[in-house]
């Protein structure tokens, strides 16, 4: 009679481990470290190693959701906006020039989305920010140490990691992330997280000061023009959010609408004044390269091709696939993206995909902004600030569609959906089973 009990004991123990808070923390740290350190993993080992790690995390995450199934609602696990975008990306395999490649790339997109959703389900906002802070402290510290080793102590580049050893000339540096723009982007994400840690007293003051200095130094040394835009934009948004949070609740709605109008006018003005702004930033060469690329891409998103459905999802460009190969040939370059997430979505998934992508990010931003403006804890500001960083950076890079950028977008969308969802109103309107109907 004791055999069945012994047989179930390992399964029960495994379920308890998968449900435990310590395992959830370890999973979150491992996932963030793997995704943010993906470039280093691939170049120190291989792409197969990185894919195997991600696949393992997806399977473990699935096991965690199954173990916690009694705590979760099936219809609240993932935002519908994320599901709609993933479904459209998968559907593009039917008209893609290489259906097999589209499906393979889609699994990469979906796998990272699953990891993000698992993290959103097993950790709250503060725990997520703390985990990201711990990971970025380590990765940025390694980056700075290797830059010092390469550029000062040895004075030779570390070619397999893409480190050029320019730190003695005050940049640009790449760290273990491959490019200066990606390092700058990650440094801004890290700075937001470090400042949230400081304001919530989540880490010791010494650790907090070291982290902010580390992120700031690497952001400056990256010499990335986008860092300036991101820094100014995030600072402005932070100031506006502080103003909204300190406004009387009865006056918040008019203030929010006024802010929206100012932002819209500002965006229009920035578009028409883009050339003077670029000259002031000293990013003329980078910007002109992007404009030339976007003009070339516009030919392949026009009415003569597939403006509604796009060319099929590939994520990072496949240099052998049309139209990416022709675009690079015309540009006499080797671009791996459109250097703009919105243009990349338009090229690969058409206007339908672009609408779904903007809806995904826009709904998440509005939800998280409203939550941050109403809740007392400053930790709720982390989600909208990260989303603002992603959306602004998407104008200059396609990082939001791949790797850590996509992971953060889905994570923030899932977090915002948990805090403020239309499903809450439906559930609140349903009569309770234990109460008599009116």
Token pair listed for 217:
């130094």
Give me the helix-helix angle, 324-331 and 284-299, nearest 10°. 130
pTM of the model: 0.89
251-303 confidence digits (pLDDT tens): 777 777 777 777 778 767 766 655 665 555 555 566 677 788 888 888 888 88
Which of 3-12, 108-117, 411-420 shows the lowest mean pLDDT across its residues? Answer: 3-12
The predicted structure's pLDDT at residue 359: 94
What is the spatial distance between Cα 342 and Cα 301, in angstroms, rounded to a whole number? 12
Residue 3, pLDDT above cutoff 80: no
The predicted structure's pLDDT at residue 272: 63
Average pLDDT score over residue span 303-318: 87
Average pLDDT score over residue span 90-101: 91
Residue 118, pLDDT above cutoff 50: yes
242-251 confidence digits (pLDDT tens): 888 777 777 7
The predicted structure's pLDDT at residue 341: 93
Average pLDDT score over residue span 65-82: 82
């Amino acid at each position: 009679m004791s055999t069945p009990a012994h047989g179930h004991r390992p399964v029960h123990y495994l379920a308890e481990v998968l449900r435990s808070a310590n395992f959830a923390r370890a999973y979150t740290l491992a996932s963030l470290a793997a995704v943010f350190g993906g470039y280093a993993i691939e170049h120190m080992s291989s792409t197969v190693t990185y894919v195997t790690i991600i696949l393992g995390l997806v399977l473990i995450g699935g096991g965690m959701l199954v173990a916690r199934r009694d705590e979760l609602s099936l219809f609240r696990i993932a935002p519908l906006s994320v599901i709609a975008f993933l479904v459209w990306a998968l559907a593009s395999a039917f008209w893609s020039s290489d259906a097999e490649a589209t499906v393979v790339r889609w699994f990469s997109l979906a796998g990272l989305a699953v990891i993000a959703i698992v993290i959103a389900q097993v950790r709250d906002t503060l725990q997520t920010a703390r985990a990201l802070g711990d990971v970025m402290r380590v990765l940025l510290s390694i980056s700075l140490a290797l830059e010092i080793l390469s550029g000062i102590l040895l004075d030779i580049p570390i070619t397999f990691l893409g480190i050029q050893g320019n730190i003695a000339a005050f940049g640009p540096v790449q760290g273990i992330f491959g490019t200066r723009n990606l390092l700058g982007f990650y440094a801004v994400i890290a700075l937001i997280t470090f400042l949230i840690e400081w304001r919530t007293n989540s880490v010791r003051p010494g650790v907090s000061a070291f982290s902010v200095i580390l992120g700031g130094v690497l952001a400056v040394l990256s010499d990335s023009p986008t860092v300036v835009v991101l820094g100014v934009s995030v600072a402005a948004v932070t100031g506006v959010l502080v103003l909204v949070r300190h406004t009387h609740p009865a006056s918040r709605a008019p203030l929010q609408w006024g802010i929206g109008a100012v932002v819209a006018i500002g965006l229009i003005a920035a578009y028409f004044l883009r050339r003077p702004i670029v000259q002031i930033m000293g990013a003329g060469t980078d910007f002109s390269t992007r404009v030339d690329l976007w003009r070339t891409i516009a030919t392949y998103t026009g009415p003569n091709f597939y403006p509604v459905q796009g060319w099929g999802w590939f994520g990072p460009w496949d240099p052998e696939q049309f139209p990416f190969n022709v675009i690079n040939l015309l540009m006499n370059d080797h671009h791996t993206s459109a250097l703009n997430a919105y243009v990349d979505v338009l090229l690969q998934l058409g206007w339908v995909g672009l609408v779904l992508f903007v809806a995904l990010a826009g709904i998440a931003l509005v939800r998280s902004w409203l939550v941050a403006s109403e809740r007392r804890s400053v930790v709720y500001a982390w989600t909208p600030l990260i989303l603002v960083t992603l959306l602004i950076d998407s104008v200059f890079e396609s990082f939001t569609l791949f790797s850590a950028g996509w992971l953060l977008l889905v994570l923030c969308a899932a977090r915002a959906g948990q805090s403020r969802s239309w499903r809450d109103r439906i559930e609140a309107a349903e009569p309770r089973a234990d109460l008599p109907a009116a």
